A and B are shown apart, each in its own frame.
Chain A
Amino acid sequence: KAGVTQTPRYLIKTRGQQVTLSCSPISGHRSVSWYQQTPGQGLQFLFEYFSETQRNKGNFPGRFSGRQFSNSRSEMNVSTLELGDSALYLCASSLDGQRNTIYFGEGSWLTVV
């Protein structure tokens, strides 16, 4: 079965712009979570969605937001981009997110210039 699919894989944005990243989970998975990975901070949890509801949120400013659709696909949005938002953004899905194996997508590489 198809894995977790993230689009786009690579993108370059200018400071002040906004960006939307998309994630299609494995079929049947209802939990989608998002992570930011940078060389300085490592992997950090952004938020988790389950059945279209945000179930958990990490310590990121309100410029970072997300949503989940009825088909479990998820998007995350970053507004007013800053240079420090340059990172690999990873999406992961699992059956219910709590006690199940998590499956990661290949990630979206965002560069802010």
Chain B
Amino acid sequence: KNEVEQSPQNLTAQEGEFITINCSYSVGISALHWLQQHPGGGIVSLFMLSSGKKKHGRLIATINIQEKHSSLHITASHPRDSAVYICAVRNFGNEKLTFGTGTRLTIIP
């Protein structure tokens, strides 16, 4: 079992829909990152969380430390949100980053 599991692996939705991507992890962590990767490779850090909830524009990220679970929500989705979203956890203790396999999101106009 991977230390970081994401679901779904692929998600296709219509423009305007509310999107939720989930991340579950099995290790103790000091922080969790949500990353966005567009075709061509570049990765952008969206959020870094250690507790609670953060919001940036149409994106919201939540984390439940007790349940070892985080969600990334996108409100009023737009075709430009189409990308791969990756969850990464920083292991408590050795501080190494471990990545989920990513969720490929496609928003259809």
**A interface residues, Cβ below 8 angstroms from B:** 33, 35, 37, 42-45, 48, 55-56, 58, 88, 90, 92, 97-107, 109
With both beta carbons as reference points, the residue of chain A lying nearest to B94 in the complex is identified as A56
**B interface residues, Cβ below 8 angstroms from A:** 30-31, 33, 35, 40-45, 48, 50, 86, 88, 90, 94-102
Q: In the bound complex, do residue A43 and residue B86 qualify as a contact, i.e. CB atoms below 8 Å apart? A: yes
Given A99-B30, A101-B48, A56 contacting B96 (CB threshold 8 A): yes
Given A42-B99, A45-B96, A97-B95, A90 contacting B31 (CB threshold 8 A): no
Q: In the bound complex, do residue A90 and residue B41 qualify as a contact, i.e. CB atoms below 8 Å apart? A: yes
Which residues on the A side are within 8 Å of B88 (C-beta)? 43
Given A42-B101, A42-B102, A43-B88, A107 contacting B95 (CB threshold 8 A): no
Which residues on the B side are within 8 Å of A100 (C-beta)? 48
